[in-house]
Structure 1
Amino acid sequence: MRKKYITTILLVTTLVSTANNKKIDLHALNDSSKKGMINSNLILEEPKVVCPEDIVIRDFHVLHPAFRNKVVLLFIEAKKQGIDLVISETYRTPERQNMLYNKKLTKVKSGKSKHQYGLAIDLIPVINNKSQANNDEVLKRVGIIGEKLGLKWGGRWKFYDPVHFEYKWNINDALSGRLPEIPDTLIIPDTDFFYKNIKRTNIE
């Protein structure tokens, strides 16, 4: 399980790196497709240029399993109170971390954020399909749920960040490559719950 988790993180990092450093020859690919050499469905448009600092990753699966277990419980307990949660961000590239730091939207530079170790998540509370990102009362309700599950909530910080939750782990240990143990039991949400809740994006 540990190997699978590390592989997932490496895959995300590799995809970002590859997209930034290697250009796919789409013209050759499209020519081959038109000649019937490969599936015609593969005809592609020229991609838009995306900088690493602009990449926002919302993939639930890149979270560390120990942290992910608690996040699933957070979704479930919030739902019991009539609050849905939508993922705003999970893993964060070093470039994006530095960009946010330079814009004074975060307090730490690259390497010092738990987002980069699968140990943090940003969540938007939703009620009746409407974002509650600016509703302090709802944000606090979700924050308290997270704290009861043993998570750190950014709403308690001087640098107020009420959508942020993170695993209680020393960042210096993470920097040194020491991460939490993989739990023996993993909480895996069923497909219906996953797509109706964790993968939600249709909010106002």
Structure 2
Amino acid sequence: MRNTVYFLAFDGFADWHAALALCEIRRPGDWQLRTVGFSMQPVLSMAGVRVLPELTLDELDIRSTALLILPGGHLWERRQSPELIDAVAHLHQSGATIAAIDSAVLVLAHAGLLEGRRHTASWPGQVALHLPRYSGEERYDTQALAVSQDRVITASHLGSVEFAREVIRTLDLYSPLDREHWYRMFKHATPPPWLGGQAVA
């Protein structure tokens, strides 16, 4: 049963990229949310928040994985992890969804998950700059802050709300109408009906 969402934490990860998505995943209580690391050592986010991974990549339960979330960070522009690239490719092949934002989209490119799929990143030349063999320019969406296709979610560093919306949709959280109200609230400060028309603070 695919009931687990994994979040990858590493030194320097951009903690705000997936914050909204993680909150909404935890809210209903229907999904297990676990933090995975390259090791069991504590890591510091870009904002200096200390996080202790619960397990390592090789301990992921592939059969229970519904979603793997990869936040951005300078790490992805300096080097890639063959272990993570293999894990991403394997998880996707097994039926899980992979969600990446900002420079974490490079991991998906290395794993071959952008080929033939509509996708985005933080700017049009971002992937090609770090991956010369990248040939997905014709499928790159310059108009969207987040894109979801065939169990692959990609997003710009400016699209954390859109990224969360795609994660929420993928996990079928809330009704379609409530998802739209949620998006309008966080993106445009438009109060949803359940707030009684009061302004959002």
Structure having the larger proportion of residues in strand: 2
TM-score over 0.5 (shorter chain): no
RCO comparison, higher one (Cα < 8 Å, 6+): 1
Structure having the larger proportion of residues in helix: 1
Higher-Rg member (1/2): 1
